Structure 1
């Protein structure tokens, strides 16, 4: 008896082999078969055109590094994502859109800004990216340090290149010179730059004042106190120059008044937006939409007419919102890359920077 006749006493046709192959392939997909894992359903937030899919493990740090409370996140012209948190290692992490870690800044960066890494971590807050001509810059805001002993660090706004070198600083500086200027902020939180180079700073954790400077940081105007009337604030946490209506307008995230106050570039009051935001932190404009991280557990998207487009990942009052991948716990800052993908960092002890790929679902 030939070998193949011993193995297959009934002669098999080509059709039999095709049937056997199909059966084997189907068996690989059976739950518990041990041959293949079940396909995991993607995590999605939003709906319709504003649907976003979580990119698993994006922003993961190597062993020995960790995030602190998430502070700022920006994207540059090459779609590199800069993340800063209340961490000494790293103080700043830079990723490509696919989540590859490109750089980390710690000791070298701390030396450039005149601090220790612990002092950087203690005072870290928001970031703002701006393109000026052919060059790109980062504007940083520092909170006041929590150190109860010795001189108080922080209370600065400074402008750097994309390598973290300080080009100009204003606020709590040791001495004034051509690149340093004293200014009395108590606890600044955010900065934005207009098309003509004017710079706007909010003192959101302190005096509740808003200040305007020209492109050389020459002071133009300051106003604001704590309160609920127009021109008053209760944590004026974020500022943005909105151009969606054509003309520039200054949007201020008045966080604990649950509103957005809108002003002219000259800081004259225009209108108030309420109802659609919940503890707004700051802003990011992409194409014809304005994205807002609401610290009270969601992301809000408005259109050019200030109308609500979407609320994403609402985790308010959900006990597992800091662990559930489809929810937000405390979005502190966000950015959107050139592809429309969303990046969010949160005010939780582990920062939780996440990428959500724009995956519109069109009916």
Structure 2
């Protein structure tokens, strides 16, 4: 996929009125678009997340929500890549060249490496973990292959991976093409090298490397695109869920990365989000699946399989790449399609 610009040229704080350009609803105004049913029923908010004139989304990378239900959307677009909304859809701010400068890249280089984003509450503080893919244009140096932790303002606090030199806030780690991060209740950090070595890295909360496991393959403990990670707290003890995308399954491990079980029959699972006793799984092959604490399917949402053009169908998914869930149970989804297709599904 072509990597377009990631961050705008400057950081801007936009007035609320500039954010809301309503999109036309599918069908009649009184004919809402719904997903799922019963306790897993959602209604599309067709106007949420619209950008003002002159801005657009690119390929949808990631979406997270913080403790104030502010929603951070990242996509491969220069205007903008990071857009921060409130729950009503007001655009609060966009992140720009200042952010790119802070991680030592140009906006164009950030664009070529953008991928994952993870929100973490650690004690009284909140943090973001950013995952870079690799960009190595012909004749140019290899960039990317880093994971960096920031505060909610985007200030870099620690960097892992392809760093120029080690310091108190940076550490060389042989990531080849990382895709996602998860943080455990005890502070342990898990990184999946999903577009590269197919290995899973476990660090403690001070970023001391504790274990590396995995590698390419189909047997348990091996992966084919270990794209996403999550530490589930739905059972008595925490468990590490790995989205083994090309193998069409979820592999479950202990916190020490010892194999426990496999959840089969997924269609290219990308990542996870846990909310209210359930885990939400965006699947790149046209749907979102919701499972319970026993790994049983509660619902499939928006299955676009067989649709002539699911990317143009308001009630279908084409390529869900990431999602998050607000405190009230609303679901936000971004897709790996040219315009990111950022959507909010209201609970109920």
TM-score, normalising length: structure 1: 0.87
* Structure 2 unaligned blocks of 5 or more: 1-27
For 1:338 and 1:309, the matched residues in 2 are separated by: 19
Indicate the residue corresponding to 1:227 in structure 2. Answer: 217
**Do 1:298 and 1:312's aligned partners in 2 also have CA atoms closer than 8 Å?**
yes
For 1:98 and 1:306, the matched residues in 2 are separated by: 32
SS in 2 for 1:322: helix
For 1:287 and 1:53, the matched residues in 2 are separated by: 18
| Aligned residues: CA RMSD | 0.9
Indicate the residue corresponding to 1:289 in structure 2. Answer: 278
* 2:335 corresponds to 1:346: yes
Deviation at 1:112, TM superposition (A): 1.2
For 2:198 and 2:134, the matched residues in 1 are separated by: 14
Which residue among 31, 54, 63 is the counterpart of 1:41?
31
TM-score, normalising length: structure 2: 0.91
For 1:92 and 1:74, the matched residues in 2 are separated by: 11
* Structure 1 unaligned blocks of 5 or more: 1-37
Deviation at 1:91, TM superposition (A): 2.3
Deviation at 1:88, TM superposition (A): 2.1
Indicate the residue corresponding to 1:326 in structure 2. Answer: 315
Summarize deviations over 1:80-122 as a string: whole Å, max 9, x none.
Answer: 0000011122120000011000000021111111111111111
Matches within 5 A, 1:251-290: 251-275=241-265, 277-290=266-279
**Do 1:91 and 1:120's aligned partners in 2 also have CA atoms closer than 8 Å?**
no
Moved over 2 A (4+): 146-149
Summarize deviations over 1:183-217 as a string: whole Å, max 9, x none.
Answer: 11110000000111110000000000001001111
Matches within 5 A, 1:154-165: 154-165=144-155
Aligned residues: 321
Please identify the structure whose Cα radius of gyration is greater.
1
For 2:336 and 2:171, the matched residues in 1 are separated by: 30
**Do 1:88 and 1:120's aligned partners in 2 also have CA atoms closer than 8 Å?**
no
Summarize deviations over 1:267-300 as a string: whole Å, max 9, x none.
Answer: 000000002x211000000011000001100000
For 1:39 and 1:178, the matched residues in 2 are separated by: 56
**Do 1:253 and 1:282's aligned partners in 2 also have CA atoms closer than 8 Å?**
yes
Deviation at 1:146, TM superposition (A): 4.6
For 1:195 and 1:315, the matched residues in 2 are separated by: 35
Deviation at 1:40, TM superposition (A): 3.0
For 1:146 and 1:79, the matched residues in 2 are separated by: 36
**Do 1:259 and 1:280's aligned partners in 2 also have CA atoms closer than 8 Å?**
yes
For 1:252 and 1:62, the matched residues in 2 are separated by: 37
Which residue among 83, 90, 99 is the counterpart of 2:89?
99
SS in 2 for 1:232: coil
For 1:126 and 1:56, the matched residues in 2 are separated by: 25
* 2:62 corresponds to 1:67: no
**Do 2:58 and 2:81's aligned partners in 1 also have CA atoms closer than 8 Å?**
no
For 2:175 and 2:167, the matched residues in 1 are separated by: 18
**Do 1:45 and 1:326's aligned partners in 2 also have CA atoms closer than 8 Å?**
yes
Indicate the residue corresponding to 1:10 in structure 2. Answer: none
Matches within 5 A, 1:1-363: 39-275=29-265, 277-359=266-348
Deviation at 1:333, TM superposition (A): 0.3
**Do 2:70 and 2:85's aligned partners in 1 also have CA atoms closer than 8 Å?**
yes
**Do 2:35 and 2:43's aligned partners in 1 also have CA atoms closer than 8 Å?**
yes
For 1:148 and 1:325, the matched residues in 2 are separated by: 39
SS in 2 for 1:299: strand
Distance 1:39 1:269, change over 3 A: closer
Deviation at 1:149, TM superposition (A): 2.6
For 2:136 and 2:305, the matched residues in 1 are separated by: 29
